[in-house]
Structure 1
Amino acid sequence: MTASPGQGPADHDEAHEPGLGGRLNWLRAGVLGANDGVLSTAGLVVGVAGANATSTQLLTAGLAGLLAGSLSMAAGEYVSVSTQRDTEQAALAKERLELRHTPEAELVELAGLYEAKGLDPELAHQVAVQLTAHDALAAHAEVELGIDPDELTNPWHAAGASFVAFTVGALLPLLAIVLPPPTHRIWITVVAVLAALVFTGWQSARLGDADPRRAVLRNVVGGGIAMGVTYAVGTILGASTE
């Protein structure tokens, strides 16, 4: 059967491009990290602005929140991904040991896994033999563990991506609250933040093939409530100290 136009080998390769799922996960994590930076920093600076803070005080508070948030995100991501990588490496080490000492049993196990996926026993055995001859560890890691030995997660990459994403997101509310004149800075910040939350909500839904309207609505409502509450608290505290 010949391929129809637009469905040639290039399209087939694109649909199964190695590492595509991993790159989408990184992109989604970056969008969510930027969203966290926007929302947490906006809540902080709007709350401080409610207490009638000066531009210098707002800048100080915003920078402190940006650095604390980005460093916290980076450290948390590093610890989380390091734990995941350690688990993956331990599982691969165990698989190497089993392949070295019980290769026949591992071949039977691999064939059984392919049978469970729907192949008939003879074909499953042939596939297991060929994949074992090509790269036994990769074959077992993929089917048994869901791991690609050549694409283990990197904690430093994860930490760096989280730091950058949060910082980029946090800069928007920080600049929006500091640069405009005091009489307009609250509303300019609110509008800028809500616009950013619309974008991050839509983008995260698009990456996950979900309904963007619900994601955007959740983002905007949550961000609006967070800024409203922190502004009210800042206003009350500011009035009580005067």
Structure 2
Amino acid sequence: MPPPEHHRSGRAGWLRAAVLGANDGVVSIAGLVVGVAAAGAEPTVVLASGVAGTVAGAFSMAAGEYVSVHSQADTERADLALEREGLRDHPTRELEELTDIYRERGLDPELARRVAEELTAHDALGAHARDELGYHELRQPRPLQAAFASSAAFIAGAALPIVTAVLAPHAHVAGITTASTLVGLSLTGATAAWLGGAPLLRGAMRVVFWGAAAMLASGLIGNLFDVAA
């Protein structure tokens, strides 16, 4: 017997939120540190900016994910309510819809009708949710899970540029932070790709590219405001 398959679709909700949070934490806080350092600010100002940005960003990511995923859950509940109403008021029409779906997927008309009837008898709403609306239990929206994953990942990602800013010589904070950020992004991108079953190099390169662009833009803007002058 071959070993059982381990699918990754169940990770989609929290993995998306965590990857987004980690990458945003690394890039946004590193950009903030690089921009403030490039402007010639004192080390305490650079550190305070990074810490303040981390706190604000973590709450922002949590709130954004919660609202976004909760809106998705609200939409799904509204759709299910419509289906429940249709099954109650127009059961024959709903049965025909389900039959047409299975026929379009390749079943002959007689078998499609029999499958639709049996699934309707077993769990009509579940059959319509899955096969008509495309909803699945593994991808069920979980607002709190997404909010926590995104916020925690943001803080973890932001720790890299903050620690770098503390340990690096003040004159080289911008350059060292940029270098460490790109290394960190390559690791988070590869890890996310590995968890999702995608090629590691492709996952690393796409986040490194955008991270490098952010560092460059932040440094250029910081140089426009030479507070040390």
Superposition TM-score, scaled by structure 2 size: 0.88
Q: RMSD over aligned Cα, in angstroms?
A: 2.4
Q: Which runs of 5+ in 2 are unaligned?
A: none
Q: What is the one-letter code of the residue matched to 1:200?
A: T
Counterpart of 2:104 (choices 92, 108, 116) is: 116
With over 3 angstroms needed to count, the CA separation of the structure-2 counterparts of 1:190 and 1:76, relative to structure 1, is same
Q: Would you say the 8 A contact 1:32–1:204 is kept in 2?
A: no
Mapped pair 1:192 → 2:180: yes
Q: How far apart are 1:105 and its partner, in Å? A: 2.4
Mapped pair 1:100 → 2:81: no
Whole-angstrom CA distance in 2 between matches of 1:150 and 1:208 = 15
Whole-angstrom CA distance in 1 between matches of 2:139 and 2:170 = 50
Q: How far apart are 1:227 and its partner, in Å? A: 1.8
Tell me the residue number matched to 2:61.
73
Q: Would you say the 8 A contact 1:138–1:148 is kept in 2?
A: no
Q: How far apart are 1:69 and its partner, in Å? A: 1.6
Structure 1 counterpart SS, 2:169: coil
Mapped pair 1:135 → 2:119: no
Q: How far apart are 1:174 and its partner, in Å? A: 1.0
Superposition TM-score, scaled by structure 1 size: 0.83
Q: How far apart are 1:68 and its partner, in Å? A: 1.9
Q: Would you say the 8 A contact 1:141–1:149 is kept in 2?
A: no
Q: How far apart are 1:172 and its partner, in Å? A: 0.9
Whole-angstrom CA distance in 2 between matches of 1:32 and 1:113 = 35
Tell me the residue number matched to 1:35.
23
Q: String of CA shifts for 1:37-69, please: whole Å, max 9, x gaps.
A: 100100100111122323321221001111222
Q: Which runs of 5+ in 1 are unaligned?
A: none
Q: String of CA shifts for 1:131-180, please: whole Å, max 9, x gaps.
A: 11211110111111011368631222222221111111111111111133
Q: What is the one-letter code of the residue matched to 1:89?
A: R
Whole-angstrom CA distance in 1 between matches of 2:156 and 2:138 = 30
Q: Would you say the 8 A contact 1:32–1:200 is kept in 2?
A: no
Q: How far apart are 1:95 and its partner, in Å? A: 0.7
Q: How far apart are 1:102 and its partner, in Å? A: 2.0
The alignment covers a number of residue pairs equal to: 229
